[in-house]
Amino acid sequence: MESILFLGTCEEDGSLGKPARETLGVASQLAAQLRASFAVGLIGTSVQEAANQAADSGATRFLGVCGSDFSHSRYATDAAAAEALCRAANATLILAPGTSRLMRCLPGVAHRLNGRADTHVTAVAANEGAITAQRWYYRQRMEARFTRSHRPWFILIDPGAAPVWSGTSRKVEVENIEVVLPDSARKTEVTGFREPEAGLNTIRPDADLLFVVGAGWTKKQPDGKVHAAEAEQLILEFLKHTRCSLGSSKSLVDLGSEGQPVLSFLSHLNQIGQTGSTPRHPKGLATCCHGEEPHTIGWRFISERRAINLDPQCGWARGKADVLYVADAFAVLKRVNELLKGT
Amino acid sequence: MNTGYHVVVCGGIVPDPLQTLEPVSTPTGPALKNELVLPATLDPWACHALYEAAHLARQHPGSRVVLVSISPKQRLQQVMMTIAQKVPFELVALDGSASGFTDPAETAGALAEAINGLPGLNRERLLVFGGWESASRGAGVTLQYLAERLAISDVFMGVDELRVNADGSLEVVERIEGGRQQASRCSGPPVVVGWATGKLPEPRNNPQIGMQNMRAIIPVLQRAKQVKIGAEGVTFASVTLPKQLRQTRIVRDATPEAIAREIVEWIKG
């Protein structure tokens, strides 16, 4: 008989974030299918509001580790809190959102409990009592379905892979789990956060559109000259109007780090594809991108895809985009910006 | 006082990203078609970790950089021919599977044993580096298992920057959600650092460094210990390539004005 624990961290305002609510839905559904005992475990400064949000999830226990030591993302304290919650719930299956905070600490907790952890899981299903997880291998090149006999089994669900769960909020009784931290757990101190400069976007999971810029923006144009400055201005204006996610190919980012005169605002945080991120957005617009399969992995999880390219055979687009505009991206984006500005 | 660090970089080999990959079924579980002859490279994030380690070692005299790799030794030797030309390091080779379908807990077990067996290991100056994910399994799990096995309680993942302060504390910048980064200060080693892309470009090939490295690497590869890395308790029901092929509508000979209008309508729709 499985015992399921949904494990989440609270946002700064004490609520459950979108990835947490997505995973809560998966856990709730799985618990109902397996008729398993179901508990919610939360970590944060204060967990009451998040627990209230999960009241309708079918969970019968609400456990919390709270206090100022658990407000920030730090391996030692997060791992201690998660370990305490898992032990208190005596869970065999732990479902958690694949956020940077939990991705960092839960594999370590799995080791402490002699369990196993699978991350980047995109689906979990129960069939005649057997639980199957699904995830990608080799950087989104192939997808596998598998089962594990090891327990406890930590399953971290990729953000955006499941619908967002919602239910009526009502007050629930939270069992506070005491965690005594050794001094060594405070060896690391979170000192702050860095945001992209105003007007410059990187990968923003909440954006509706992913805008991908390729190396073509920095190649010689029909007049025989490079127009990197003009490209920068057009791209920045497009970002300002659409507030989209900005992705780039590795080659373009690498050129920037080598000090060559390219698009100065790009960094490795923008990199998508085989050695970058594979973000999930409803729409994607690729401009001046080239390359075959390994490079196109960056928009594996983009639902609607369009591309602008001068090459009608472009591997980024043919068979991978819904629409390919064979056109000069400079001219098109300039007019797009004018139209967006006027609306 | 020796201010050098003992930097241990963990990294395996992966198929060259430009290769077409196809899964096949074997008696021991899934594998890649022609896996043993596919051109390979050192995992891209492990490479970044190695370059950052060498950079740190240059800044702190007395430092030592050791690359610990679990890979089939013949293929590792081919990869070393290139990597050895980049930066100076010592190699500890374990002859075992580098497949993405193995279990990270088993990989971490073998890595921990190798690290604990390093002669002259100084835990007070130990920095364990690796890629935050790999281009094979891509799980981002091995380093945390390793940290637990090495009893290291400070772990950083998705690291873009690591600086050493004058007092010996470490400033670490990690990637978090929404294009943001979290900055932390750790009082000092030992720490485990899973690197994202870092900030350094790929070093140029230096044949002198290559020759110097290879003199030590070849004997290490020859006596590489065999390790059994599998995926005990995991049963793969299927491993498939994505089949989705889109019917691309190709728009030629349309004016920028017409294309721009269509794109704006689509963005807003």
* CB of A57 closer than 8 Å to CB of A166: no
* CB of A36 closer than 8 Å to CB of A61: no
Q: Per DSSP, what are the bridge partners of residue B67?
A: B9, B91
CB of A139 less than 8 A from some CB of B: yes
DSSP 8-state assignment for residue B123: G
What number is the average pLDDT over the span B213-228? 97
CB of A268 less than 8 A from some CB of B: yes
Q: Which residue of A has its CA nearest to B19?
A: A294
- Residue B258 clears pLDDT 90, i.e. is over it: yes
Q: What pLDDT sits at residue A297?
A: 67
- Residue B57 clears pLDDT 60, i.e. is over it: yes
Q: Which residue of B has its CA nearest to A254?
A: B201
Would you call the peptide bond into A312 cis, given omega within 30 degrees of 0 as the criterion?
Answer: no
| Chain B residues inside the 8 Å CB shell of A300 | 242
- Residue A294 clears pLDDT 60, i.e. is over it: no
As a whole number of angstroms, the distance between CA B154 and CA B259 comes to: 52
* CB of B234 closer than 8 Å to CB of B85: no
**Who among B137, B238, B264 is closest to A336 (CB)?**
B264
pLDDT tens digits, one per residue of B179-201: 789 999 999 999 999 999 887 88
pLDDT tens digits, one per residue of B120-157: 999 999 999 999 999 999 999 999 999 999 999 999 99
CB of A341 less than 8 A from some CB of B: no
pLDDT tens digits, one per residue of B11-27: 999 998 778 899 999 99
Q: Walk me through the domains of chain A, giving residue ranges and CATH numbers.
A: 3-186 (3.40.50.620), 209-341 (3.40.50.1220)
Q: Which residue of B has its CA nearest to A279?
A: B178
As a whole number of angstroms, the distance between CA A200 and CA B178 comes to: 12
CB of B20 less than 8 A from some CB of A: yes
Place of tokens 């757990």: A185
Phi-psi region of B34 (alpha: psi -120 to 50; beta: other; left: phi over 0): left
| Chain A residues inside the 8 Å CB shell of B103 | 116
> Could A139 and B235 be called an inter-chain contact, meaning their C-beta atoms sit closer than 8 Å?
no
> Could B248 and A322 be called an inter-chain contact, meaning their C-beta atoms sit closer than 8 Å?
yes
Q: Are strands A302-309 and B249-251 parallel, antiparallel or unpaired?
A: unpaired
Homologous superfamily assigned to B6-226: HUPs (3.40.50.620)
For chain B, what percent of residues have pLDDT higher than 90?
87
As a whole number of angstroms, the distance between CA A118 and CA B103 comes to: 9
Interface of A with B in 62-81 (CB under 8 A): 73-76, 79
- Residue A172 clears pLDDT 60, i.e. is over it: yes
- Residue A198 clears pLDDT 60, i.e. is over it: no
Q: Per DSSP, what are the bridge partners of residue A127?
A: A130
Q: What pLDDT sits at residue A202?
A: 65
> Could B240 and A143 be called an inter-chain contact, meaning their C-beta atoms sit closer than 8 Å?
yes
Position with higher pLDDT, A313 vs A59: A59
As a whole number of angstroms, the distance between CA B195 and CA B216 comes to: 26
Side-chain-side CA neighbours of residue B75 (13 Å):
25
- Residue A166 clears pLDDT 90, i.e. is over it: yes
Size of chain A, expressed as the number of residues it contains: 343
Interface of B with A in 52-91 (CB under 8 A): none
For chain B, what percent of residues have pLDDT higher than 70?
99
ipTM over 0.90? The verdict is yes
The band of A121, judged by pLDDT with boundaries at 50, 70 and 90, is very high
Q: What pLDDT sits at residue B178?
A: 74
- Residue A205 clears pLDDT 70, i.e. is over it: no
What number is the average pLDDT over the span A48-55? 98
Place of tokens 């923006």: A217
The band of A120, judged by pLDDT with boundaries at 50, 70 and 90, is very high
Task: Tell me the C-alpha to C-alpha distance, in Å, between residue B33 and each of A141, A294, B24, B119.
Answer: 13, 17, 6, 38
The band of B2, judged by pLDDT with boundaries at 50, 70 and 90, is low
CB of B246 less than 8 A from some CB of A: yes
**Nearest CA-CA distance, residue B243 and chain A, Å:** 10
pLDDT tens digits, one per residue of A75-118: 999 999 999 999 999 999 999 999 999 999 999 999 999 999 99
Q: What pLDDT sits at residue A256?
A: 61
- Residue A293 clears pLDDT 70, i.e. is over it: no
Mutation target for A interface from B126, B263, B265: give the one with most A CBs within 10 A: B263
> Where would I find the H helices in chain A?
18-34, 48-53, 75-89, 100-112, 228-242, 250-257, 293-296, 329-341
> Could A145 and B196 be called an inter-chain contact, meaning their C-beta atoms sit closer than 8 Å?
no
As a whole number of angstroms, the distance between CA A94 and CA A39 comes to: 10
As a whole number of angstroms, the distance between CA A321 and CA B43 comes to: 29
As a whole number of angstroms, the distance between CA A135 and CA A155 comes to: 11
